[in-house]
Amino acid sequence: MAGLNHHTAALGDLETFRFPDEETFLAAARERFKGALLLQTCNRIEVLVHGDAQGLTAFLHEQGREAFDILEGVEVLSHLLEVAAGIDSMIIGEDQILGQLKRALALAQESGACDPIIDLCIKKAVHVGVEVRRRTEINRGAVSIGSAAVALAEDLLGSLDGRHILVLGSGEMGMLVAKALAARDLTAIYVANRTYERALVLAEKIGGKAVNFSELTRYITLSDVVITCTSAPHPVLTREILARAMRDRCWPTEGHPRPLVVVDIAQPRDVEEGAAEVDGVSLYTIDNLRDVNEHTIETRRTEAARAEAFIEEELDRFLSQINGASADEVLRGLYTWAEAVRTRERDRALARLQGYGPETEAVIDDLSRVLTKKLLIDATFSIRSCAEQGRIEDAEQLVRAITRGDRLCSRRDD
């Protein structure tokens, strides 16, 4: 696994590393690795492959990505479980990561980049994530990125009572923001989206007002807070739009606009660089949400420790499952070879018989199957045993010895 996340990368670094066309990326990865998956969220971009670290590093360099962290082996499995459990999230205990992992797996499957190992990794991680939340209270009182944005706005303004709020974006994050706002005593919630029908659906769910994108400037003028979270690949709130809206917010006597709080939690960012220089605009991004998390993290430290203990227990099971799946892959090569030999020799035997009927053909076929299976029993046991102990190279060497006549190299234990 390689990539960047909120622990070591700034928002700008994450934006630079992001892959805008996920399907194209997975198609390229599919040509290089047995399996691949791309996980992209607001706070992390991580690539998981069934391959080796050297190959993944070279591949990402070819994709124009130079600086990234890389994990391999058991570290990857441990990391996946921590991510799914919410321990590794910027907002400790948040639940959105489970859906994001499922979507990443679905996209890998649809693109043909997924293989049994990748499938097992993600499904196991999601299972552990669900179990952690069932066994602990790590997500009790936890906030999503969306609700953290609302909490940040509330901290900045002292209270959201009687305020006008504009939510820009009606996807999953927009829904989380809107739900958090619906619990406040607001005067008005406006929902804007490039597709008006989607804005209308979300507005109806929370008792807000859907806004046409063409009326964006007008509703920015009316609002005290703008929270933007679209999935657009480019800025949707430009400096020009904000400047135009702020001119209409000027106090009659002072000539200065009423302050506007803009919280941009989109990735890539929705607000154009330099927009914070517009008079009266206070711009905040995902990086500012770390402070909100610090207010709630103390109440979940004990639960996080319990989650980590459970993850340690599950890690051994996870490793055993991965090794077992690897054994299946190694054995697949052995049985493919054996089946080819069986059918070839069966056909030769049948060709030597004269005037045989379907019954004879069935007997010969059954005999060859039974013999092949019995001859491979001990070899199968040894190969699977090696693989499940993590000795994949030994398992592969055994298969090569049987199928190609390679010599077995003795290994001296250290």
- What count of residues does the chain have? 414
Q: What one-letter code names the amino acid at 42?
A: C
Query: What is the domain range of residue 30?
Result: 2-135
Structure tokens at 266: 């989109």
* pLDDT recorded at residue 374: 94
Is 289 found in the same domain as 152? yes
Q: Would the annotation count 96 as a binding residue?
A: yes
182 falls within a domain: yes
11 falls within a domain: yes
Is 179 found in the same domain as 39? no
Residue 128's domain is classified under what CATH number? 3.30.460.30
Beta strand 281-285 pairing with 44-50: unpaired
* pLDDT recorded at residue 130: 95
Is 115 found in the same domain as 238? no
Is 266 found in the same domain as 216? yes
Final residue before a domain boundary, out of 115, 135, 155: 135
pTM (predicted TM-score): 0.75
Q: Would the annotation count 229 as a binding residue?
A: no
Q: Would the annotation count 171 as a binding residue?
A: yes
Per-residue buried b or exposed e for 238-252, using 16+ beta carbons within 10 Å of the residue's own CB: ebebbbbbbeebeee
Is 158 found in the same domain as 276? yes
10 falls within a domain: yes
Q: Would the annotation count 42 as a binding residue?
A: yes
Q: What one-letter code names the amino acid at 364?
A: I
Residue 175's domain is classified under what CATH number? 3.40.50.720
Find the helix or strand (DSSP H, E) in which 261 lies: strand 260-264
The C-alpha atoms of residue 189 and residue 203 are separated, in whole angstroms, by 8
Rounded (5°) CA angle 307-309-310: 65
328 falls within a domain: yes
164 falls within a domain: yes
Q: Would the annotation count 174 as a binding residue?
A: yes
End-to-end CA distance of the chain: 29
Q: What one-letter code names the amino acid at 319?
A: L
* pLDDT recorded at residue 249: 85
The C-alpha atoms of residue 309 and residue 316 are separated, in whole angstroms, by 12
298 falls within a domain: no
Structure tokens at 58: 């070279």
307 falls within a domain: no
Q: How many domains does the chain have?
A: 3
Q: Are 84 and 101 in contact (CB under 8 A)?
A: yes
Final residue before a domain boundary, out of 106, 135, 164: 135
Active site residue 409: no
Residues 6+ apart with CB under 8 A from 160: 150, 153, 154, 181, 184, 185, 186, 225
Is 97 found in the same domain as 78? yes
Is 200 found in the same domain as 162? yes
Structure tokens at 267: 């990735």
Beta strand 2-5 pairing with 69-70: antiparallel
Q: Are 141 and 299 in contact (CB under 8 A)?
A: yes
E runs forming strands in 104-233: 164-168, 188-193, 209-212, 225-228
361 falls within a domain: yes
Burial class (CB in 10 A: 0-12, 13-18, 19+), 355: exposed
The rounded average pLDDT for each run of 10 residues, N- to C-terminus, in the chain (414 residues) is 92 91 96 96 94 96 96 95 92 88 97 95 96 87 78 88 91 86 85 91 90 92 93 90 89 74 91 91 86 64 84 90 85 93 93 87 94 93 85 87 82 47
Is 207 found in the same domain as 162? yes
Could you say which of 42, 114, 121, 386 is catalytic?
42
* Residue 89 DSSP symbol: S
